[in-house]
A and B are shown apart, each in its own frame.
Chain A
Amino acid sequence: MRIRKELLKGSTAIMILKIISKEDAYGYQITQELYADSGETFKLNEGTLYPILHTLEKDGLIKSYSKISEQGRLRKYYSITPLGRVNLAAQIEEWRVFSRAVDAILKEN
C-alpha cells in the first residue's frame, strides 16, 4: 500500500532518528533500513534524506563522522547525540499520544 507523502512528512525525522539510535548508519543504509523495518511500506525518496539528516545535525540531534566501511569504502556515518536521544524519547511519547488519539477517533467512526 502506497502511503501519501503528507502522512509521511511529519514522521520521517523521528523514524530516521530511531534508526540512527540503534546503530551508527550512513545514508544509503538508513533508506534501506527504513524500507525493511517498515515492512516495505515506507519508500523514501532517497535524495530527500540528506536535507533531513543535515537539519538534524544542525540541530545537534545527530553528529557525523567519516569511517571506512566493512566494504573498505570511506563513508559518512551518522550517530545520535545525547540531546538526540532525549529528543527522540520525547517525540516517541508525543507520537504515541497522537496515534492513540487518532485510533480512538477512527475506531469510534
Chain B
Amino acid sequence: MDNSDFDIQKEIEAYAAHITHDIRPIKKRESIKSEFISHIEDAVYHYMISGLNEQDAFKRACDEIGDVEKIKRMLTIVHKKDKISTVLFPIIYCFALIIAFLPFILSSVKIDYILEQWINLISVVTAIALFCFTILKSYKYLRALFKRVSLIRKIKKICQQNNYCFSYDRNYYLSIFGKSSKHEMKIIGKEKTIYIKMFACLKRKDIYTLTSINSFFTSNNVNPIFVSYDYPSIGSVLKKESERKMYLPRFYQSRNNYVKEDSINPEVDAEIGADVINILCINPISAKIEVVRTNRAEEVFDGDEFKGYIVYSGNGLCDFLKRM
C-alpha cells in the first residue's frame, strides 16, 4: 500500500466499527466503538513513539487486540440483554395498543356481559397508561430539543457579543473561536498551567465537568505550543503533524468550513506565536453554559472556591463541583 493512501484514523474507525458491528442498540454500540477507537489510538501512539511508522503501528495494535471474531462473540453475549430489551419494548407497546383497542376489535363478537366489562376496564386502564407514557416521552424529547435550541441561541449570542466566530455542525458540537478575550482564569495544575478563556460545563448529577477547555498548555510565560481542536478530547499538546492528523480528524475534515475572514486557524496561529486562542466545544444536549468574566487572570488552586464552585485541577483537568 502506498503510504500516502493510508488514512490511520479511517482505518482505526473501520476496525473498531467491525469489532462492534453486532452490538445493539446503536447508542451502546457507538459508546463501545469509541472506547475501542481510544484504545487503538493509544496503542498506535505508543508504537509510533517506539519508532514504528503509522502503518506498522496500526498493524501491531490490531494484532494486540486479538481474535476479532471471538471478541465480537464475547461482546454480543455480554450485551445480549440490551438486545432483547430493544426487541421487547416495541412488542410490549404493540401488545398494549391491541389491548387498548380490544373492545373495538371484539365489537362484532358476542361475549358475556361481565367479561365485556372486564375487557373494557382493562382496555381503558391500558389506554390511559399508553397515553401517559407517550405524552411523557414526547415531553422529554421536546424538552431536550428546546433546551438544545435555546442553548445554541445563548451561545450564539455570547459569541456575537464577544466577537467570536460561531459554528455549529451536525455532530452537535459547537466551536467558538476567539482571540482577544480579557476574560480568563489561570489554573495551576500539578504538572501544567492552564489558561482558560471561556468555557462551558456539562452537568452530570452534581458534578460540572469541562467538556471542552479553550485552553492551551503553556509554560508560565504564556507561550502556546499547540492548541488542539474539536476532537472529543480537547487540549492535547500535539507537536508533530502526524499526531495532529491522527488525533484531530474532525479538524482536518472540517477546516474548510471555517474560511471566514474573522475565523482563526488554531494550528497556524499557535505556530506563529499568538498569545490567546479560544476553542470551545461542547455537547449542547445537556450542557450548561458558564462564562467566566474577569478583568484579570485569577489564580485558582485545588480546593479553592471560584464563582461559587469548588475547583480542583489535578492532572491538568478542570472539574467543578457544585457547592453542596
Q: Mark A16-49, 1 if CB is under 8 A from B, else 0.
A: 0000000000111000000000000000011110
What is the CB-to-nearest-CB distance from B36 to chain A, in angstroms, rounded to a whole number?
A: 7
8 Å CB contact of A72 from B32, B74, B77, B236: B236
Q: Interface stretch among A62-70, A79-87, A90-98, A100-108?
A: A62-70
* Contact, CB under 8 Å: A72 / B235: yes
What is the CB-to-nearest-CB distance from B47 to chain A, in angstroms, rounded to a whole number?
A: 12
Contact A70/B315 with A46-B39, A54-B78, A76-B35 known, Cβ cut-off 8 Å: yes
CA distance A71 to B217 in the complex (A): 10
* Contact, CB under 8 Å: B233 / A47: no
* Contact, CB under 8 Å: A75 / B317: no
Looking across the interface, which residue of chain A has its beta carbon closest to that of B212?
A: A68
CA distance A69 to B81 in the complex (A): 31
Interface SS, A side: mixed
Contact A70/B316 with A46-B43, A47-B19 known, Cβ cut-off 8 Å: yes
Interface SS, B side: helix
Question: What is B's interface to A at a CB cutoff of 8 Å?
Answer: 19, 31-32, 34-36, 38-39, 41-43, 64-68, 70-71, 74-75, 77-79, 81, 191, 209-210, 213, 217, 228, 231-237, 247, 315-317
Looking across the interface, which residue of chain A has its beta carbon closest to that of B77?
A: A51
List chain B residues, Cβ under 8 A from A27: 35, 38-39
List chain B residues, Cβ under 8 A from A70: 191, 315-317
Most buried by A among B38, B79, B209, B213: B38
List chain B residues, Cβ under 8 A from A54: 32, 75, 78-79
What is the CB-to-nearest-CB distance from B225 to chain A, in angstroms, rounded to a whole number?
A: 12
Contact A46/B65 with A27-B39, A73-B38, A74-B232 known, Cβ cut-off 8 Å: yes
CA distance A26 to B236 in the complex (A): 17
* Contact, CB under 8 Å: A50 / B71: yes
* Contact, CB under 8 Å: A46 / B66: yes
Contact A48/B228 with A71-B233, A71-B236, A76-B38 known, Cβ cut-off 8 Å: no
What is the CB-to-nearest-CB distance from A97 to chain B, in angstroms, rounded to a whole number?
A: 29
List chain A residues, Cβ under 8 A from B34: 76
List chain B residues, Cβ under 8 A from A47: 19, 36, 65-68, 70-71
What is the CB-to-nearest-CB distance from A20 to chain B, in angstroms, rounded to a whole number?
A: 15
Answer yes or no: A58 CB below 8 A from chain B CBs.
yes
* Contact, CB under 8 Å: A46 / B233: no
* Contact, CB under 8 Å: B35 / A50: yes
What is the CB-to-nearest-CB distance from A13 to chain B, in angstroms, rounded to a whole number?
A: 12
**Could you list some 22 contacts between A and B, CB below 8 A?**
A27-B39, A28-B42, A46-B43, A47-B36, A47-B70, A47-B71, A48-B66, A48-B74, A50-B32, A50-B39, A58-B81, A68-B233, A68-B317, A70-B317, A72-B234, A72-B236, A73-B231, A73-B232, A74-B233, A75-B38, A75-B233, A76-B38
